[in-house]
Chains A and B, each alone.
Chain A
Amino acid sequence: MTASADRRWRPPPFIRNPWLRWGTLLASLAYLYLAFSSLNINWDRVQQGWSRAQTLFSGFLTPDFVSRTSAIQTGILESLTMTVIATVLGVLISVPFAFGAARNVSPLPVYLFSRAVIVISRSFQEIVIAIFFVVMVGFGPLAGTLTLAFATIGFLGKLLAEAIEDIDPQQLEAIRATGASWFQVMGYAVVPQIKSRFVGLSLYRFDINFRESSVLGLVGAGGIGATLNTSISRYEYSTTAAIILLIVVTVLILEYASGFVRARLQ
Protein backbone atom coordinates (compact mmCIF):
# COMPACT_ATOMS: atom_id res chain seq x y z
CA MET A 1 0.00 0.00 0.00
CA THR A 2 1.28 3.42 -0.89
CA ALA A 3 0.99 6.33 1.46
CA SER A 4 -1.82 8.05 -0.43
CA ALA A 5 -4.91 5.95 -1.21
CA ASP A 6 -5.93 5.52 -4.87
CA ARG A 7 -8.46 8.11 -5.93
CA ARG A 8 -11.01 6.81 -8.40
CA TRP A 9 -11.87 8.93 -11.40
CA ARG A 10 -14.54 8.47 -14.07
CA PRO A 11 -15.63 11.03 -16.66
CA PRO A 12 -18.74 12.82 -15.36
CA PRO A 13 -21.91 11.29 -16.88
CA PHE A 14 -24.14 13.38 -19.14
CA ILE A 15 -27.05 12.99 -16.67
CA ARG A 16 -25.85 13.12 -13.08
CA ASN A 17 -28.76 11.48 -11.24
CA PRO A 18 -28.43 7.67 -11.77
CA TRP A 19 -32.21 7.11 -11.41
CA LEU A 20 -32.91 9.69 -14.07
CA ARG A 21 -30.11 8.34 -16.27
CA TRP A 22 -31.23 4.70 -16.30
CA GLY A 23 -34.92 5.70 -16.28
CA THR A 24 -34.47 7.74 -19.44
CA LEU A 25 -32.70 4.86 -21.16
CA LEU A 26 -35.41 2.35 -20.18
CA ALA A 27 -38.21 4.67 -21.26
CA SER A 28 -36.54 5.21 -24.64
CA LEU A 29 -36.20 1.46 -25.20
CA ALA A 30 -39.83 0.87 -24.24
CA TYR A 31 -40.94 3.61 -26.62
CA LEU A 32 -38.88 2.13 -29.48
CA TYR A 33 -40.40 -1.32 -28.89
CA LEU A 34 -43.95 0.08 -28.90
CA ALA A 35 -43.27 2.17 -31.99
CA PHE A 36 -41.99 -0.83 -33.94
CA SER A 37 -44.84 -3.09 -32.89
CA SER A 38 -47.37 -0.45 -34.02
CA LEU A 39 -45.91 -0.51 -37.54
CA ASN A 40 -47.93 -2.73 -39.85
CA ILE A 41 -45.34 -4.20 -42.13
CA ASN A 42 -46.99 -6.09 -44.94
CA TRP A 43 -44.36 -8.59 -45.96
CA ASP A 44 -46.31 -9.61 -49.08
CA ARG A 45 -45.98 -6.12 -50.45
CA VAL A 46 -42.31 -5.94 -49.62
CA GLN A 47 -41.87 -9.11 -51.67
CA GLN A 48 -43.87 -7.69 -54.61
CA GLY A 49 -41.82 -4.51 -54.40
CA TRP A 50 -38.71 -6.59 -54.83
CA SER A 51 -39.87 -8.04 -58.13
CA ARG A 52 -41.04 -4.60 -59.33
CA ALA A 53 -37.68 -3.13 -58.45
CA GLN A 54 -36.14 -5.80 -60.64
CA THR A 55 -38.14 -4.60 -63.68
CA LEU A 56 -37.19 -1.01 -62.91
CA PHE A 57 -33.51 -1.75 -62.49
CA SER A 58 -33.33 -4.03 -65.52
CA GLY A 59 -34.59 -1.01 -67.46
CA PHE A 60 -31.63 0.89 -65.99
CA LEU A 61 -29.23 -1.58 -67.52
CA THR A 62 -30.47 -0.57 -70.97
CA PRO A 63 -30.89 3.22 -70.85
CA ASP A 64 -32.78 4.41 -73.89
CA PHE A 65 -31.80 7.88 -75.09
CA VAL A 66 -33.38 7.41 -78.53
CA SER A 67 -37.14 6.83 -78.29
CA ARG A 68 -37.86 10.15 -76.53
CA THR A 69 -34.86 12.19 -77.66
CA SER A 70 -36.74 15.41 -78.33
CA ALA A 71 -38.70 15.25 -75.07
CA ILE A 72 -35.54 14.66 -73.09
CA GLN A 73 -33.72 17.45 -74.92
CA THR A 74 -36.51 19.95 -74.32
CA GLY A 75 -36.71 18.90 -70.67
CA ILE A 76 -32.99 19.30 -69.97
CA LEU A 77 -32.83 22.61 -71.82
CA GLU A 78 -35.89 23.84 -69.96
CA SER A 79 -34.32 22.84 -66.64
CA LEU A 80 -31.08 24.63 -67.48
CA THR A 81 -32.93 27.76 -68.61
CA MET A 82 -35.00 27.76 -65.42
CA THR A 83 -31.83 27.31 -63.36
CA VAL A 84 -29.93 30.17 -64.99
CA ILE A 85 -32.79 32.67 -64.87
CA ALA A 86 -33.84 31.72 -61.35
CA THR A 87 -30.30 31.84 -59.97
CA VAL A 88 -29.50 35.24 -61.50
CA LEU A 89 -32.85 36.68 -60.40
CA GLY A 90 -32.65 35.15 -56.93
CA VAL A 91 -29.07 36.28 -56.35
CA LEU A 92 -29.86 39.85 -57.42
CA ILE A 93 -32.85 40.05 -55.10
CA SER A 94 -31.12 38.33 -52.19
CA VAL A 95 -28.16 40.74 -51.99
CA PRO A 96 -30.07 43.70 -50.50
CA PHE A 97 -31.86 41.36 -48.09
CA ALA A 98 -28.51 39.87 -47.05
CA PHE A 99 -27.13 43.29 -46.17
CA GLY A 100 -30.39 44.14 -44.43
CA ALA A 101 -30.29 40.94 -42.42
CA ALA A 102 -26.76 41.51 -41.10
CA ARG A 103 -27.08 43.05 -37.64
CA ASN A 104 -23.64 44.70 -37.75
CA VAL A 105 -24.45 46.91 -40.73
CA SER A 106 -28.21 47.45 -40.54
CA PRO A 107 -30.53 49.29 -38.16
CA LEU A 108 -32.99 47.15 -36.21
CA PRO A 109 -36.19 47.76 -38.27
CA VAL A 110 -34.44 46.93 -41.55
CA TYR A 111 -32.87 43.89 -39.90
CA LEU A 112 -36.20 42.55 -38.64
CA PHE A 113 -37.90 43.07 -42.00
CA SER A 114 -35.09 41.37 -43.96
CA ARG A 115 -34.93 38.47 -41.53
CA ALA A 116 -38.69 38.02 -41.85
CA VAL A 117 -38.48 37.81 -45.65
CA ILE A 118 -35.65 35.29 -45.41
CA VAL A 119 -37.46 33.19 -42.83
CA ILE A 120 -40.60 33.06 -44.97
CA SER A 121 -38.58 31.98 -47.99
CA ARG A 122 -36.78 29.33 -45.99
CA SER A 123 -39.72 27.89 -44.12
CA PHE A 124 -41.27 26.21 -47.17
CA GLN A 125 -39.85 23.30 -49.06
CA GLU A 126 -39.44 23.99 -52.79
CA ILE A 127 -42.26 21.59 -53.73
CA VAL A 128 -44.72 23.48 -51.53
CA ILE A 129 -43.73 26.82 -53.04
CA ALA A 130 -43.97 25.27 -56.52
CA ILE A 131 -47.54 24.16 -55.84
CA PHE A 132 -48.44 27.74 -54.86
CA PHE A 133 -46.84 29.16 -57.99
CA VAL A 134 -48.48 26.54 -60.23
CA VAL A 135 -51.83 27.62 -58.82
CA MET A 136 -50.92 31.29 -59.34
CA VAL A 137 -49.35 31.28 -62.83
CA GLY A 138 -50.38 27.90 -64.20
CA PHE A 139 -48.41 24.81 -65.22
CA GLY A 140 -45.02 25.19 -66.88
CA PRO A 141 -41.49 26.48 -66.40
CA LEU A 142 -42.54 29.98 -65.28
CA ALA A 143 -43.86 28.52 -62.03
CA GLY A 144 -40.64 26.55 -61.59
CA THR A 145 -38.44 29.56 -62.26
CA LEU A 146 -40.32 31.69 -59.74
CA THR A 147 -40.07 28.88 -57.18
CA LEU A 148 -36.32 28.53 -57.53
CA ALA A 149 -35.76 32.30 -57.47
CA PHE A 150 -37.85 32.57 -54.31
CA ALA A 151 -35.98 29.72 -52.62
CA THR A 152 -32.65 31.27 -53.65
CA ILE A 153 -33.49 34.47 -51.74
CA GLY A 154 -33.81 32.59 -48.47
CA PHE A 155 -30.74 30.45 -49.01
CA LEU A 156 -28.35 33.13 -50.19
CA GLY A 157 -29.86 35.85 -48.00
CA LYS A 158 -29.27 33.85 -44.85
CA LEU A 159 -25.79 32.54 -45.65
CA LEU A 160 -24.57 35.85 -47.04
CA ALA A 161 -25.95 37.72 -44.01
CA GLU A 162 -23.99 35.35 -41.80
CA ALA A 163 -20.86 35.99 -43.85
CA ILE A 164 -21.38 39.74 -43.38
CA GLU A 165 -21.88 39.33 -39.64
CA ASP A 166 -18.62 37.40 -39.48
CA ILE A 167 -16.43 40.10 -41.02
CA ASP A 168 -13.63 41.77 -39.09
CA PRO A 169 -15.26 44.74 -37.29
CA GLN A 170 -11.96 46.65 -37.13
CA GLN A 171 -11.85 47.03 -40.90
CA LEU A 172 -15.44 48.28 -40.83
CA GLU A 173 -14.59 50.78 -38.12
CA ALA A 174 -11.50 51.99 -39.96
CA ILE A 175 -13.44 52.76 -43.14
CA ARG A 176 -16.23 54.44 -41.17
CA ALA A 177 -13.62 56.63 -39.48
CA THR A 178 -12.55 58.08 -42.84
CA GLY A 179 -15.93 59.76 -43.22
CA ALA A 180 -17.19 57.25 -45.79
CA SER A 181 -20.92 56.97 -46.46
CA TRP A 182 -22.84 53.74 -45.65
CA PHE A 183 -22.61 52.53 -49.23
CA GLN A 184 -18.89 53.28 -49.36
CA VAL A 185 -18.36 51.41 -46.10
CA MET A 186 -20.15 48.43 -47.67
CA GLY A 187 -18.10 48.74 -50.86
CA TYR A 188 -14.71 49.11 -49.19
CA ALA A 189 -14.94 47.24 -45.89
CA VAL A 190 -17.64 44.59 -46.38
CA VAL A 191 -17.60 43.55 -50.05
CA PRO A 192 -13.86 42.73 -50.19
CA GLN A 193 -14.31 40.48 -47.17
CA ILE A 194 -17.31 38.54 -48.49
CA LYS A 195 -16.67 38.55 -52.24
CA SER A 196 -15.22 35.07 -52.64
CA ARG A 197 -17.82 33.60 -50.31
CA PHE A 198 -20.56 35.32 -52.30
CA VAL A 199 -19.37 33.84 -55.59
CA GLY A 200 -18.95 30.42 -54.00
CA LEU A 201 -22.43 30.46 -52.51
CA SER A 202 -24.00 31.65 -55.77
CA LEU A 203 -22.37 28.82 -57.71
CA TYR A 204 -23.42 26.33 -55.06
CA ARG A 205 -26.99 27.58 -55.28
CA PHE A 206 -26.79 27.18 -59.06
CA ASP A 207 -26.05 23.48 -58.48
CA ILE A 208 -28.91 23.15 -56.05
CA ASN A 209 -31.31 24.94 -58.37
CA PHE A 210 -30.56 22.53 -61.19
CA ARG A 211 -31.16 19.52 -58.97
CA GLU A 212 -34.38 21.05 -57.63
CA SER A 213 -35.53 21.82 -61.16
CA SER A 214 -35.55 18.09 -61.90
CA VAL A 215 -38.02 17.55 -59.06
CA LEU A 216 -40.34 20.48 -59.67
CA GLY A 217 -41.71 18.82 -62.81
CA LEU A 218 -43.47 16.32 -60.54
CA VAL A 219 -45.91 19.04 -59.48
CA GLY A 220 -46.18 20.50 -62.99
CA ALA A 221 -43.68 23.33 -62.63
CA GLY A 222 -41.72 22.48 -65.78
CA GLY A 223 -38.25 21.15 -66.41
CA ILE A 224 -36.81 17.68 -66.87
CA GLY A 225 -38.86 16.40 -63.93
CA ALA A 226 -41.99 16.51 -66.06
CA THR A 227 -40.37 14.28 -68.68
CA LEU A 228 -39.09 11.98 -65.94
CA ASN A 229 -42.53 11.73 -64.42
CA THR A 230 -44.16 10.93 -67.77
CA SER A 231 -41.66 8.18 -68.52
CA ILE A 232 -42.29 6.53 -65.16
CA SER A 233 -46.06 6.60 -65.51
CA ARG A 234 -45.73 5.06 -68.98
CA TYR A 235 -43.53 2.28 -67.55
CA GLU A 236 -40.74 3.35 -69.96
CA TYR A 237 -38.03 2.58 -67.47
CA SER A 238 -35.25 2.63 -70.06
CA THR A 239 -36.11 6.26 -70.83
CA THR A 240 -36.28 6.97 -67.08
CA ALA A 241 -32.79 5.57 -66.74
CA ALA A 242 -31.54 7.74 -69.60
CA ILE A 243 -32.98 10.86 -67.98
CA ILE A 244 -31.53 10.07 -64.57
CA LEU A 245 -28.12 9.43 -66.13
CA LEU A 246 -28.30 12.80 -67.89
CA ILE A 247 -29.20 14.54 -64.64
CA VAL A 248 -26.26 12.90 -62.90
CA VAL A 249 -23.88 13.89 -65.69
CA THR A 250 -25.12 17.48 -65.74
CA VAL A 251 -24.80 17.80 -61.96
CA LEU A 252 -21.26 16.41 -62.17
CA ILE A 253 -20.31 18.91 -64.85
CA LEU A 254 -21.79 21.81 -62.85
CA GLU A 255 -20.08 20.59 -59.70
CA TYR A 256 -16.73 20.41 -61.44
CA ALA A 257 -17.16 23.81 -63.10
CA SER A 258 -18.14 25.57 -59.89
CA GLY A 259 -15.29 23.90 -58.01
CA PHE A 260 -12.89 25.13 -60.67
CA VAL A 261 -14.13 28.72 -60.48
CA ARG A 262 -14.11 28.73 -56.66
CA ALA A 263 -10.54 27.44 -56.56
CA ARG A 264 -9.44 30.19 -58.94
CA LEU A 265 -11.04 32.84 -56.75
CA GLN A 266 -9.05 32.30 -53.58
Chain B
Amino acid sequence: MAVRNVSLEVGAGEVLALIGPSGAGKSTLIRCINRLVEPTRGSITLKGEELTTLRGQALRHTRRRIGMIFQEHALVDRLTVMENVLSGQLGYTGFWRSQLRRFPQTVVNRAFELLERVGISEHVDKRADQLSGGQRQRVGIARALLQDPEFLLVDEPTASLDPKTSRQIMRLLLELADEHGLSAIINIHDVPLAQMFVSRIVGLNQGEIVFDGPTGELTSEVLTRIYGEEDWAPQREEGEDTTA
Protein backbone atom coordinates (compact mmCIF):
# COMPACT_ATOMS: atom_id res chain seq x y z
CA MET B 1 0.00 0.00 0.00
CA ALA B 2 1.51 3.31 -1.08
CA VAL B 3 -0.28 5.60 1.35
CA ARG B 4 -2.00 4.80 4.65
CA ASN B 5 -3.46 6.56 7.69
CA VAL B 6 -3.04 9.94 6.06
CA SER B 7 -5.19 12.74 7.38
CA LEU B 8 -4.77 16.11 5.77
CA GLU B 9 -6.91 19.21 5.69
CA VAL B 10 -6.28 22.12 3.34
CA GLY B 11 -8.00 25.40 4.11
CA ALA B 12 -9.57 27.66 1.49
CA GLY B 13 -6.85 29.54 -0.34
CA GLU B 14 -4.13 27.63 1.48
CA VAL B 15 -1.11 26.31 -0.42
CA LEU B 16 0.97 23.52 1.06
CA ALA B 17 4.03 21.69 -0.12
CA LEU B 18 4.20 17.92 0.16
CA ILE B 19 7.76 16.71 0.48
CA GLY B 20 9.30 13.29 0.98
CA PRO B 21 11.69 10.81 -0.60
CA SER B 22 10.96 9.13 -3.95
CA GLY B 23 8.42 6.40 -3.44
CA ALA B 24 7.00 7.96 -0.29
CA GLY B 25 3.58 8.11 -1.93
CA LYS B 26 3.34 11.81 -2.81
CA SER B 27 2.05 11.21 -6.34
CA THR B 28 -0.32 8.50 -5.17
CA LEU B 29 -1.71 10.74 -2.46
CA ILE B 30 -2.67 13.59 -4.79
CA ARG B 31 -3.94 11.18 -7.45
CA CYS B 32 -6.34 9.72 -4.90
CA ILE B 33 -7.94 13.15 -4.59
CA ASN B 34 -9.09 13.37 -8.22
CA ARG B 35 -9.34 9.57 -8.39
CA LEU B 36 -6.74 8.94 -11.06
CA VAL B 37 -5.77 6.36 -8.45
CA GLU B 38 -8.56 4.59 -6.56
CA PRO B 39 -8.17 4.73 -2.78
CA THR B 40 -8.97 1.37 -1.19
CA ARG B 41 -10.51 2.98 1.88
CA GLY B 42 -10.91 6.27 3.63
CA SER B 43 -12.67 9.49 2.79
CA ILE B 44 -11.86 12.52 0.68
CA THR B 45 -14.09 15.58 0.74
CA LEU B 46 -14.05 18.75 -1.32
CA LYS B 47 -16.09 21.52 0.34
CA GLY B 48 -18.04 18.88 2.22
CA GLU B 49 -18.76 16.67 -0.79
CA GLU B 50 -17.55 13.07 -0.53
CA LEU B 51 -15.39 12.20 -3.57
CA THR B 52 -14.56 8.53 -3.04
CA THR B 53 -18.02 7.26 -3.98
CA LEU B 54 -18.48 9.31 -7.17
CA ARG B 55 -18.89 7.55 -10.49
CA GLY B 56 -19.38 8.43 -14.14
CA GLN B 57 -20.59 11.92 -14.83
CA ALA B 58 -20.52 13.04 -11.19
CA LEU B 59 -16.85 12.06 -11.00
CA ARG B 60 -16.08 13.93 -14.23
CA HIS B 61 -17.88 17.01 -12.98
CA THR B 62 -15.83 16.95 -9.79
CA ARG B 63 -12.61 16.51 -11.75
CA ARG B 64 -13.40 19.76 -13.56
CA ARG B 65 -13.21 21.55 -10.20
CA ILE B 66 -9.74 20.13 -9.48
CA GLY B 67 -7.01 21.41 -11.78
CA MET B 68 -3.91 19.27 -12.09
CA ILE B 69 -0.40 20.23 -13.12
CA PHE B 70 2.04 17.46 -13.92
CA GLN B 71 5.65 16.54 -13.70
CA GLU B 72 7.03 16.82 -17.27
CA HIS B 73 3.90 18.91 -17.95
CA ALA B 74 2.04 16.04 -19.72
CA LEU B 75 0.92 18.15 -22.65
CA VAL B 76 -0.38 16.31 -25.69
CA ASP B 77 2.74 16.74 -27.84
CA ARG B 78 1.04 16.59 -31.19
CA LEU B 79 -1.63 19.16 -30.39
CA THR B 80 -1.03 22.89 -30.59
CA VAL B 81 -0.58 25.12 -27.56
CA MET B 82 -4.14 26.43 -27.95
CA GLU B 83 -5.62 22.95 -28.28
CA ASN B 84 -3.78 21.90 -25.13
CA VAL B 85 -5.10 24.88 -23.20
CA LEU B 86 -8.64 24.37 -24.52
CA SER B 87 -8.55 20.74 -23.39
CA GLY B 88 -8.98 22.19 -19.90
CA GLN B 89 -12.59 22.84 -20.92
CA LEU B 90 -13.36 19.30 -22.09
CA GLY B 91 -15.41 18.58 -19.00
CA TYR B 92 -17.73 21.46 -19.90
CA THR B 93 -17.98 20.75 -23.63
CA GLY B 94 -19.83 18.15 -25.68
CA PHE B 95 -17.92 15.51 -27.63
CA TRP B 96 -18.52 16.77 -31.18
CA ARG B 97 -18.01 20.37 -30.23
CA SER B 98 -14.65 19.56 -28.67
CA GLN B 99 -13.68 17.22 -31.50
CA LEU B 100 -14.40 19.91 -34.11
CA ARG B 101 -12.54 22.47 -31.93
CA ARG B 102 -15.62 24.69 -31.85
CA PHE B 103 -15.35 26.01 -28.30
CA PRO B 104 -17.61 28.90 -27.22
CA GLN B 105 -16.13 32.33 -27.91
CA THR B 106 -16.03 33.18 -24.20
CA VAL B 107 -13.85 30.14 -23.60
CA VAL B 108 -11.50 31.06 -26.44
CA ASN B 109 -11.21 34.59 -25.06
CA ARG B 110 -10.44 33.22 -21.63
CA ALA B 111 -7.80 30.87 -23.11
CA PHE B 112 -6.10 33.82 -24.82
CA GLU B 113 -6.18 35.76 -21.55
CA LEU B 114 -4.58 32.90 -19.65
CA LEU B 115 -1.90 32.37 -22.31
CA GLU B 116 -1.08 36.03 -22.00
CA ARG B 117 -1.04 35.84 -18.21
CA VAL B 118 1.43 32.91 -18.18
CA GLY B 119 3.49 34.68 -20.84
CA ILE B 120 3.33 32.53 -23.96
CA SER B 121 0.74 34.32 -26.08
CA GLU B 122 3.02 34.39 -29.13
CA HIS B 123 3.15 30.58 -29.46
CA VAL B 124 -0.59 29.90 -29.75
CA ASP B 125 -0.48 27.72 -32.86
CA LYS B 126 2.86 26.02 -32.28
CA ARG B 127 2.83 22.33 -31.60
CA ALA B 128 3.44 21.64 -27.91
CA ASP B 129 6.56 19.59 -28.58
CA GLN B 130 8.26 22.64 -30.10
CA LEU B 131 8.31 24.54 -26.82
CA SER B 132 11.00 24.59 -24.13
CA GLY B 133 10.44 22.92 -20.76
CA GLY B 134 9.49 26.10 -18.97
CA GLN B 135 7.11 27.17 -21.74
CA ARG B 136 5.42 23.77 -21.70
CA GLN B 137 4.86 23.98 -17.98
CA ARG B 138 3.26 27.39 -18.51
CA VAL B 139 0.88 25.82 -21.01
CA GLY B 140 0.15 23.10 -18.45
CA ILE B 141 -0.72 25.77 -15.90
CA ALA B 142 -2.99 27.59 -18.36
CA ARG B 143 -4.76 24.28 -19.15
CA ALA B 144 -5.41 23.63 -15.46
CA LEU B 145 -6.69 27.17 -14.91
CA LEU B 146 -9.05 27.03 -17.89
CA GLN B 147 -10.91 24.33 -15.95
CA ASP B 148 -11.95 27.13 -13.60
CA PRO B 149 -10.82 25.01 -10.66
CA GLU B 150 -11.33 25.50 -6.94
CA PHE B 151 -8.36 23.35 -6.06
CA LEU B 152 -4.98 22.67 -7.64
CA LEU B 153 -3.03 19.43 -7.49
CA VAL B 154 0.54 20.05 -8.56
CA ASP B 155 2.83 17.07 -9.08
CA GLU B 156 6.55 17.91 -9.14
CA PRO B 157 6.08 21.03 -11.33
CA THR B 158 9.80 21.79 -11.47
CA ALA B 159 11.28 18.30 -11.72
CA SER B 160 12.51 18.72 -15.28
CA LEU B 161 13.40 22.41 -15.15
CA ASP B 162 16.59 24.33 -14.49
CA PRO B 163 16.89 26.27 -11.17
CA LYS B 164 15.99 29.65 -12.63
CA THR B 165 12.98 28.37 -14.57
CA SER B 166 11.92 26.38 -11.50
CA ARG B 167 11.76 29.53 -9.44
CA GLN B 168 9.85 31.40 -12.15
CA ILE B 169 7.32 28.58 -12.42
CA MET B 170 6.87 28.33 -8.65
CA ARG B 171 6.40 32.08 -8.39
CA LEU B 172 3.84 32.03 -11.21
CA LEU B 173 1.95 29.15 -9.56
CA LEU B 174 1.81 30.89 -6.20
CA GLU B 175 0.71 34.20 -7.77
CA LEU B 176 -2.03 32.51 -9.75
CA ALA B 177 -3.25 30.52 -6.76
CA ASP B 178 -3.46 33.81 -4.90
CA GLU B 179 -5.22 35.67 -7.75
CA HIS B 180 -7.86 32.97 -8.12
CA GLY B 181 -8.15 32.16 -4.42
CA LEU B 182 -7.18 28.55 -5.03
CA SER B 183 -6.08 25.99 -2.49
CA ALA B 184 -3.24 23.82 -3.67
CA ILE B 185 -1.13 20.82 -2.79
CA ILE B 186 2.29 20.98 -4.41
CA ASN B 187 4.39 17.81 -4.52
CA ILE B 188 7.96 18.84 -4.65
CA HIS B 189 11.27 17.23 -3.82
CA ASP B 190 13.33 20.40 -3.96
CA VAL B 191 13.13 21.33 -0.26
CA PRO B 192 14.81 24.77 -0.46
CA LEU B 193 12.41 25.72 -3.25
CA ALA B 194 9.45 24.67 -1.11
CA GLN B 195 10.81 26.67 1.80
CA MET B 196 11.18 29.72 -0.41
CA PHE B 197 7.61 29.83 -1.63
CA VAL B 198 5.29 27.93 0.69
CA SER B 199 4.37 28.54 4.31
CA ARG B 200 3.08 25.09 5.23
CA ILE B 201 5.03 21.89 4.69
CA VAL B 202 3.82 18.31 4.97
CA GLY B 203 6.42 15.54 5.07
CA LEU B 204 5.58 12.06 3.85
CA ASN B 205 7.66 8.98 4.52
CA GLN B 206 6.69 5.48 3.41
CA GLY B 207 3.09 6.51 2.94
CA GLU B 208 2.66 8.18 6.31
CA ILE B 209 2.69 11.83 7.35
CA VAL B 210 5.68 12.40 9.64
CA PHE B 211 5.58 16.20 9.69
CA ASP B 212 2.93 18.86 9.21
CA GLY B 213 3.73 22.39 10.17
CA PRO B 214 4.91 25.86 9.20
CA THR B 215 8.02 26.12 7.04
CA GLY B 216 10.00 27.66 9.91
CA GLU B 217 9.78 24.43 11.92
CA LEU B 218 11.49 22.40 9.21
CA THR B 219 14.72 21.72 11.09
CA SER B 220 17.50 19.25 10.32
CA GLU B 221 15.94 16.92 12.86
CA VAL B 222 12.61 17.04 10.98
CA LEU B 223 14.30 16.50 7.61
CA THR B 224 15.98 13.42 9.04
CA ARG B 225 12.58 12.15 10.14
CA ILE B 226 11.24 12.65 6.58
CA TYR B 227 14.18 11.58 4.46
CA GLY B 228 16.40 9.59 6.80
CA GLU B 229 19.84 10.26 8.26
CA GLU B 230 21.89 12.77 6.25
CA ASP B 231 23.96 15.89 6.77
CA TRP B 232 21.46 18.67 6.13
CA ALA B 233 23.78 21.59 6.81
CA PRO B 234 24.46 22.83 3.23
CA GLN B 235 20.78 23.38 2.69
CA ARG B 236 20.73 26.07 5.33
CA GLU B 237 23.23 28.22 3.49
CA GLU B 238 22.37 31.76 2.46
CA GLY B 239 22.33 32.37 -1.26
CA GLU B 240 18.92 30.97 -2.16
CA ASP B 241 17.57 34.47 -2.72
CA THR B 242 19.20 35.22 -6.05
CA THR B 243 16.19 36.92 -7.53
CA ALA B 244 15.78 36.22 -11.23
Contact = CB atoms under 8 A, between A and B. Distances in A.
A and B pair up:
yes
A109 B93 CA distance: 29
Contacts of A184: 90, 93, 95, 98-99
Interface string A160-176: 00000000101101111
20 contacts: A170-B70, A171-B74, A175-B87, A177-B34, A177-B36, A178-B64, A178-B87, A178-B88, A178-B143, A178-B147, A179-B92, A179-B147, A181-B90, A184-B95, A184-B98, A184-B99, A188-B83, A188-B90, A188-B98, A192-B79
A179 B74 contact: no
B78 interface: yes
A193 interface: yes
Contacts of A195: 78
B140 to A, nearest CB: 8
Contacts of B240: none
Interface in B133-178: 140, 143, 147, 153
Contacts of A177: 34, 36, 63, 66, 68, 153
B75 A178 contact: no
B60 A179 contact: yes
Contacts of B88: 178
A174 B75 contact: yes
A148 interface: no
A187 interface: yes
Given A184-B95, A187-B95, A188-B98, A178 B90 contact: yes
B74 A173 contact: yes
A181 B95 CA distance: 8
B2 interface: no
Interface in B23-76: 34, 36, 60-64, 66, 68, 70, 72, 74-76
A179 B72 contact: no
Given A179-B61, A192-B78, 15 more contacts: A168-B74, A170-B74, A171-B76, A173-B74, A174-B68, A174-B70, A174-B140, A177-B63, A178-B68, A179-B90, A179-B147, A180-B91, A181-B60, A193-B77, A193-B78
Contacts of B77: 168, 171, 192-193
B65 to A, nearest CB: 8
Nearest to B97: A184
Interface of B: 34, 36, 60-64, 66, 68, 70, 72, 74-79, 83, 87-93, 95, 98-99, 140, 143, 147, 153
Contacts of B89: 178
B76 A175 contact: yes
A174 B136 CA distance: 13
Contacts of A176: 36, 63
A183 interface: yes
A171 B75 contact: yes
Contacts of A193: 76-78
A181 B91 CA distance: 7
Nearest to B63: A179
Given A175-B87, A178-B91, A183-B95, A189 B76 contact: yes
A82 to B, nearest CB: 32
A103 B147 CA distance: 28
B70 A173 contact: yes
Contacts of B34: 177
A206 B79 CA distance: 28
Given A178-B143, A187-B99, A188-B90, A173 B76 contact: no
Contacts of B140: 174
Max chain B C-beta neighbours (<10 A), residue from A168, A177, A189? A177
Contacts of B61: 179
A95 B9 CA distance: 45
A171 B76 CA distance: 6
Contacts of A179: 60-64, 90-92, 147
A170 B69 CA distance: 11
Max chain B C-beta neighbours (<10 A), residue from A171, A175, A178, A180? A178
Interface in A27-45: none
A15 to B, nearest CB: 40
A76 B142 CA distance: 55
A178 B142 CA distance: 12
A187 B98 CA distance: 9
A180 B36 contact: no
B180 to A, nearest CB: 17
